[in-house]
Structure 1
């Protein structure tokens, strides 16, 4: 292409492939203003809260954004990476992108590949990183929404932003997005291996394991969102891989918000019920989260640990997410190389 450009044409980077890892997001800090800014962006997304604006915005701006930033800030402060002054989700996602870039160097790809990361809400923004990849000459873009199970409030909203950014670009890159990988063998193998290793490292044997996923309103599922089915299949495939029964590893849903009924069973209610029934040793894993964050470190390892102990439990373990572990990076490498076929 460059051979046909006139000598006066400006030098333009081109010919590269960009890979963008995207996770949910994190506030810039735990103070009121940072938390309010983050929560406003998150809770204003109609993929997340689909009420009509006339109904939702007075509640959001008049009530929630006046009180929730303080509470959320206190929760974030418990799990904050104070050394880097950032949320753990940002720390881990950055590490995942760096390690993926290192791994791809070991492959003869045929094209230069640039790996970057972004957050759907907060910073670094998707817009800024997509534009940066384009400026580096990435004519092809692979976006990896780091959500194994598809939900409109996660995978779809990431793709929405990608499309919105591209429609304002004069020179758009060709685009691919990672499909949900809830039943991909690389994902199931990584989960099973990580779970088995971490259980074996405990100083006790759990009587039961909960696979806790982020919930969605029951209405979203009734309207066609496949998320619940994806979660149930992930749990089944992991159980089958490890030879476990459905009684030993149960599936539950956490992080309820608002007055609506959400998909069940609820994690906190199940933890309470199991402890009251005499279960003394429990572990909880979060297969739907690609990196540890507020919902795993504070809600599960904090709140649900306390619930279990207060109702008679004696030993509790939170199983870490895949994060940037060897198993997690093996999975990301395999998924990425599969989606790059024909481009490299």
Structure 2
């Protein structure tokens, strides 16, 4: 006999949700899909904090008139044509499936901060499925206002629209978690063991940000430096064998230095003929790693006299990464599961 009174709306079984969040991806590489995606991304005040009255006319009339064509060509060069989606989407789906297997007692899904599937649509789907507790997991090992914080902004905004708002938690940065560092070191050692010409330097190339953000208190730069140190210590390498650089500079102001594209050319001019690059700020390979690192940055090194350039892929859905994330998530689920 039902304990509910007559005419009471049905109740779903209570569940715990784990919602993964990645940066985002356009739905296609044509002009209009690229324009919609770039407009959403570059309109985020966490990403570009210039006054709207000054920035939006420039963005909508000048930048978005041209940039969708160049960005679309870059996406086309790496697109997963078999599945009709970007590599980031393919990898994020694989990560979600792997973590669902790691965490069978909870509902695991993913969203994108920009583009589809939107954060709001996935929060709504979890609530409708009975999730009254949701752990939100931005897939960024290091914290930055332009990544972790804006993902959280979208999550909290979505929660406020729910009639029955769930209890929520957000995953903090995890760059120094031993399981993550161990997986990162494993990926480097595995790649190193396969190389005939051993690199003379490993560059840890992180996505850049304006230097001004560091001066305003964003901890990202310090966390990147510490990630590099922890990776070097886990590998047992000497100081100087791994160097920290920053990529993806945008706009006229000074960003965190050294810039990867300039530094690789300088290494070649110094006589370094063999280098490797890893991107520890990205949990999944994307346009910045598959096109920028293996395109512009690699070309800069070879053009300056370098001979072999090795890119070590992101951790993606490798088993040790999924196990590490599963462990990190379980720690945050204590008391709920």
Structure 2 length as normaliser, TM-score?
A: 0.98
Any unmatched runs of 5+ in structure 1? 106-111
1:230 matched to 2:223? The reply is yes
Per-residue CA deviation, residues 124-179 of structure 1 (Å, 9 max, x unaligned), is: 11110110011100011011000011000000001111111111111111101100
Deviation >3 Å, runs of 4+ = none
Q: Which residue is equivalent to 2:47? A: 48
Aligned residue for 1:280?
273
CA distance in 1, matches of 2:276, 2:300: 13
Matched, 1:138 2:131: yes
Deviation at 1:3, TM superposition (A): 6.2
Separation of aligned partners in 2, 1:184 and 1:166 = 28
Q: How does 1:168-247 map to 2 (within 5 A)?
A: 168-247=161-240
SS class of match (1:19): strand
Q: Number of residues paired by the alignment? A: 337
Bigger drift between 194-203 and 36-45 goes to 194-203
1:14 Cα offset (Å): 3.4
Q: Check whether the contact 1:282–1:316 (CA below 8 A) recurs between aligned residues.
A: yes
Q: How does 1:1-20 map to 2 (within 5 A)?
A: 5-20=4-19
8 Å Cα contact 1:15/1:138 also seen in 2 = yes
Q: Please show how residues 69-148 of structure 1 align to structure 2 within 5 Å.
A: 69-105=68-104, 112-148=105-141
Q: CA deviation at 1:336?
A: 1.1
Query: What is the RMSD of the two structures over their aligned residues, measured on CA atoms?
Result: 1.1
Deviation at 1:34, TM superposition (A): 0.3
* Contact 1:35–1:69 (Cα < 8 Å) also in 2: yes
CA contact (8 A) 1:194 1:327 kept: no
Provide, for residues 320-343 of structure 1, a one-character-per-residue CA deviation record: whole Å limited to 9, x for no partner: 000000121111111111111111
CA contact (8 A) 1:190 1:331 kept: yes
Task: For structure 2, list consecutive stretches of 5 or more residues without a partner in the other structure.
Answer: none
> Is 2:88–2:286's contact at 8 Å kept on the other side of the alignment?
yes
**CA distance in structure 2 between the partners assigned to 1:51 and 1:14 by the alignment:** 46
Counterpart-to-counterpart distance in 2, 1:44 and 1:211: 29
Report the Cα distance in structure 1 between the residues aligned to 2:133 and 2:247, rounded to whole angstroms: 37
* Corresponding residue number in structure 2 for 1:293: 286
Deviation at 1:99, TM superposition (A): 0.7
Please name the residue that 1:108 is paired with. none
- Range with bigger deviation, 269-278 or 196-205: 196-205
In structure 2, what is the Cα distance between the partners aligned to 1:297 and 1:12? Answer: 46
